[in-house]
Amino acid sequence: MKKKLIIDGMHCAGCANAVDKQLEAIEGVTGVNVNLTTDTATVEYDQPIDIDVFANAISKAGYTLANKEDDESAFSDEREEEKVRNAYNNMWWSWALTIPMILWMIPSWIADFHFLGMTGMEAGMLTLSAIILIIPGRETLLSAYRSAVNLSPNMDVLIAMGSLAAWSTGIVALLHSLGLAPEFHSFAMISGMIMAFHLTGRYIETKARGSASKAIRELMKLGAKEATILKDGEEVKVPADELMPGDIMVIRPGEKIPTDGLVTKGQSMVDESIATGESMPVDRSEGDEVIGATINQEGLLHVKATKVGKNTFLSQIVRMVEEAQGTKVPIQDFADRVTAVFVPVVLVMASLTLMTWLIFPDLFNGILIWSAEYLPWVNPEWGNTALAFYAMIAVLVIACPCALGLATPTALMEGSALGAENGILIRKGEAIQLMKDIDTVVLDKTGTITRGEPQVTDILNIESNSEEEILTVAASLEKNSEHPLAKAILRVAHEQELKLQEINDFKAVSGKGVQGSIDGDRVWIGNASFTDEINREVLAEKQRLEAEAKTVVYVVRGHSILGLIGIADDIKTDSKEAIARMKQMGLKTIMLTGDNIHTAKAIGERVEVDEIMAEVLPGDKADKVAALQQQGRKVAMIGDGINDAPALTKADVGIAIGTGTDIAIESGDIVLVKGNLMEVIKAIRLSNATFRKIKQNLFWAFFYNLIMIPLAIIGVLHPLLAEVAMAFSSINVVFNSRRLRNTKLQ
């Protein structure tokens, strides 16, 4: 069993790790995947678990379960708007109180004038800062408290401790002004400003993260809101979510197709760009499948609904993208291991900083005196105890692991959204990292390199008979046949709008073909056994076509061969170019097929693959992939059929052709919606670009901590600057990830 939980209040990798830890501790839970970017946790479990159990575990970690009733509201504009609105209000109120404190302090900085006296000013700073901490900062303090008492401290613990430590110095300073305590420099105003800057960063980050997940919400809104259906011969409008399989929908020009279906009447051009990324509209007529949320451009269509609700193509895309954003890239494991212990380590580091300053003050005095010449906020005259608290507060504030936690999921979210817009669905995040190491591409033949259905490739006339005559006789016979080759012939006749003739005495002859009569003449279509009049010229043409992996059928009228029709599973138009591009990238290309060696060789030579593996039984395809892996190769498998599913799963990266079977798609790490091999090149570029962005994010997140923490320890980093730097690092990671959307995949 699997359940998606929506969690309010997570801000960093420490938050996600705390939630992960509490959920994993629940009896019956077998797997947990917390996605910081989408505020969700996907929980797998093998026994019934009440929703309140999940809610209590999340509460212990310091957060709130948002979807006790609705399990599918992970992405909604209302929820995102509420989060941004709350973050904005908290930021606004914090600055509404912080700015008066700054104005109050300016006269004392400039002219040593203290409005209401020193005691009054100290009391005022304490009061205003306390209001900031208690009201707009309330969620941060509560989250810190809940996570701390449950021994899973998160980032809010660092902010809370830094703010409260600074605020407590104001109490000592106030007591000193009343003659009840020793002299001590007050950082009370700084406590309120730390929270104000923290809430400002939280607002910007929340807004940016909301924009990052907007692609999924936009996908969900693409579907039509209502549909027109035929009911008892009358047109009736119904909400789209009430459609049932079998309903006949009426779609006029310019309207969205409400759900996936089959055209039963009419002909039109349909804009399928939202599904395939292809800008050119495609022709759809009776018998063709159409995709929900695509747009009917020209004619009136009657469409029978075949898939509704969660089974539609659009819903599957949303689900796949959500799954991709919830998976982890292997490189993230390292960041997770670091952030899992980061907060406790920072608490120890801050404590050691305080003790070192108190025990060895002379160790830092020289640095402070020197830096005071260049940094106006450094004041060596504050006293050792005040300076020790100053350094400790800076360490607590600067060392938050927020940027580390956002580095991977934000890049993965943007990459998967960009892929979805281009018809490339990344189902498993680890494929992003593994794709860059691929050196071998194994391609299934049928449906991957080739179209996957028989196509008429050649019509050869004999004795000056026209192609139209040959095709008319063949199609007139085949219209009564159920053979797969018959469909190929009829398709061409339909495209050429040929007028078919009446067939009498129709008969299917097993192993030979079909026969009948037209205007009293006997006509046949099938193999050579129907006629003995095969001359050398006809035989040469037959052998030539068969050498090209084509099936040859004879069209005979009376005692004369009218012509030959070559039928083959033709190569897709972009297969050869795509394979050439792969080879240019240094990838070895291998065609894997169950066809005989002659057919496989003919196809393989045309697309110029490096190696051909033919006559491979369906159950042995995965073994062939495993054998390549044992040779040290990193293998990507591309396929579309049920028999490809084991090989797709076995490969380091499985790439499923989206036009193939559902089981192949479910087995793939990456799904190509359009089914063209050129999309593989786009997928490779997308993977490389996304992984580069992940590495950039992790570098800057680590670099920022490595530079700033030592500066905080030696006392030259102002706590306010520390908070600004911490917030900026998180915002930088989010916006750096968003730049992925500018990547060109062509």
Catalytically active residues are 444
Distance CA 426, CA 432 (A): 8
Contact between 166 and 188 under an 8 Å Cβ cutoff? The reply is yes
Name the residue among 45, 32, 123, 133 with its Cα closest to residue 90. 133
| Alpha-carbon distances, residue 442 vs 67, 258, 582, 634 (angstroms) | 43, 37, 11, 11
DSSP 505-538: EEEEETTTEEEEEETTEEEEEESGGG-S---HHH
Amino acid at 324: A
Beta bridge partners of 441: 589, 636
* Long-range contacts, stretch 628-632, CB < 8 angstroms, 24+ apart: 628/440, 628/442, 628/590
In this structure, the number of other CB atoms found within 10 A of the CB of residue 691 comes to 21
Beta bridge partners of 622: none
| Alpha-carbon distances, residue 215 vs 219, 227, 342 (angstroms) | 6, 24, 32
Phi, psi of 522 (to 5 degrees): -75, 135
Name the residue among 88, 86, 102 with its Cα closest to residue 192. 102
Distance CA 245, CA 262 (A): 11
Q: Which residues contact 507 (CB under 8 A, 6 or more apart)?
A: 514, 515, 516
Distance CA 11, CA 203 (A): 11
Helix (H) or strand (E) holding 94: helix 77-111
| Alpha-carbon distances, residue 180 vs 92, 166, 290 (angstroms) | 36, 19, 81
User: What are the tokens at 702?
Assistant: 């680590």
Distance CA 408, CA 700 (A): 12
615: left (phi over 0), alpha (psi -120 to 50) or beta: left
Query: Which residue matches tokens 């701390």?
Result: 148
Burial state string for 723-732 with b = 16 or more CB within 10 A and e = fewer than 16: bbbbbebbbb
Q: Which residues contact 328 (CB under 8 A, 6 or more apart)?
A: 33, 336, 408, 429, 430
Contact between 522 and 504 under an 8 Å Cβ cutoff? The reply is no
Contact between 91 and 197 under an 8 Å Cβ cutoff? The reply is no
User: What are the tokens at 48?
Assistant: 């019934």
| Degrees to nearest 5, angle at CA 100 with 96 and 103 | 140
Length of the chain, please? Answer: 746
Q: Which residues contact 482 (CB under 8 A, 6 or more apart)?
A: none
User: What are the tokens at 81?
Assistant: 């708007």
For the four alpha carbons of 42, 46, 52 and 53, in that order, the dihedral sign comes to negative
User: What are the tokens at 659?
Assistant: 């036009």
Contact between 308 and 259 under an 8 Å Cβ cutoff? The reply is yes
| Degrees to nearest 5, angle at CA 362 with 360 and 367 | 120
What's the half-sphere exposure (Cβ side, CA atoms, 13 Å) at 293? Answer: 21
Distance CA 202, CA 495 (A): 60
User: What are the tokens at 374?
Assistant: 């260049």
Contact between 398 and 152 under an 8 Å Cβ cutoff? The reply is no
User: What are the tokens at 357?
Assistant: 């300053």
